[in-house]
Amino acid sequence: IQESGATTSFGSPAIWRRVLPFCHDQGYKLPGLRRLLMAGAPVPPDLIQRAHAVLSMDADVFTPYGATEALPVASIAGREVAPGLLDAMKNGAGTCVGEAAPGIEIRLIQITDEPIPTWSDDLYVGLGEMGEVCVRGAVTTEVYAEEEGHTKKAKIHDADGSVWHRMGDIGRFDSEERLWFLGRKSHRLQTETGIRMPVPVENIFNLHPRVYRTALVGIGPKGSETPLLVVEAVPGEYPKGETMTQGFIMQLRDIGRRI
């Protein structure tokens, strides 16, 4: 960025988790950067805040959402997320990926692993309810070459000849038609009390200053899975000694009781 004079930079959150702390530790600012894009995985609010600390006030972070089969689908600016939507994320709303990109239609349908040959309005879920993300637009692919089985699982044909792509993600719309990402459909937990998605829970725990990342997984048969949280501490921040370790675990359990 410094040598080339780049004004736009794109990378996954994993890259920026290395670059931004380095900038902070070395006292580097990136005033020439106008747009910093992060995509490829959910972007935590703290990473956006770290980016804002090295950017000028008129620059911003953008987190485009999409897939190889449909990109872009939606996008949101970082200064809209932090602090505007940060409280919602802290309270388990998931990760906001913004409004539909120009020319893209987004619909949420009932969650199923079965193929859906033809589109029907009966598939829709209500506002605020979670469902599988389906998209349609000029950038959406219609077939997987020589992969008929995958095509059947991921594509839905509409009566007008167009094709909807099933993203394999679960989301929900808020009252302002912004899409919130809740996690991959294949990662959903099927518990005795219903479906639980990982990202809203992980976002909450990831705000702990000692936590680097977490993964909510299910133990046991589908339909009666028990949620289990796997926690990775920030490198060098895992408490030393049994007393401090137990204190760290108790802090995490206290967070869990409030969810």
Task: Yes or no: say if 108 and 174 are a contact pair by the CB < 8 Å rule.
Answer: no
Residue 29: Cβ-neighbour burial (10 angstroms; 0-12, 13-18, 19+): exposed
Q: Which amino acid is at 91?
A: N
Q: Convert the pLDDT of each residue in 6-25 to its tens digit.
A: 999 999 999 999 999 999 99
Residue 180: half-sphere exposure toward Cβ, Cα within 13 Å: 24
Q: Convert the pLDDT of each residue in 98-144 to its tens digit.
A: 999 999 999 999 999 999 999 999 999 999 999 999 999 999 999 99
Tokens of 198: 């990982």
Task: Yes or no: say if 208 and 214 are a contact pair by the CB < 8 Å rule.
Answer: no
Tokens of 167: 């993203």
Confidence class for position 258, pLDDT limits 50, 70, 90: confident
Q: Convert the pLDDT of each residue in 20-61 to its tens digit.
A: 999 999 999 999 999 999 998 888 888 898 999 999 999 999
pLDDT at 89: 86
pLDDT at 175: 92
Helix axes 45-54, 13-26, angle to 10 degrees: 40
Confidence class for position 214, pLDDT limits 50, 70, 90: very high
**Cα–Cα distance measured from residue 151 to residue 217, given in angstroms and rounded to the nearest whole number:** 28
Alpha helices in the chain (DSSP H): 13-26, 45-54, 78-81, 86-90, 148-154, 198-205, 242-258
pLDDT at 211: 94
Q: Convert the pLDDT of each residue in 166-213 to its tens digit.
A: 999 999 999 999 999 999 999 999 999 999 999 999 999 998 999 989
Phi and psi at residue 8, to the nearest 5°: -135, 135
Query: Rounded to whole angstroms, what are the CA distances from 170 to 125, 132, 163, 178?
Result: 12, 4, 19, 14
Which residue would you say has higher pLDDT here, 70 or 81?
Answer: 70
Helix (H) or strand (E) holding 166: strand 163-173
The DSSP output letter for 40 is: S
Tokens of 258: 């409030």
Length of the chain: 259
Residue 201: half-sphere exposure toward Cβ, Cα within 13 Å: 23
Q: Is the pLDDT of residue 90 over 90?
A: no
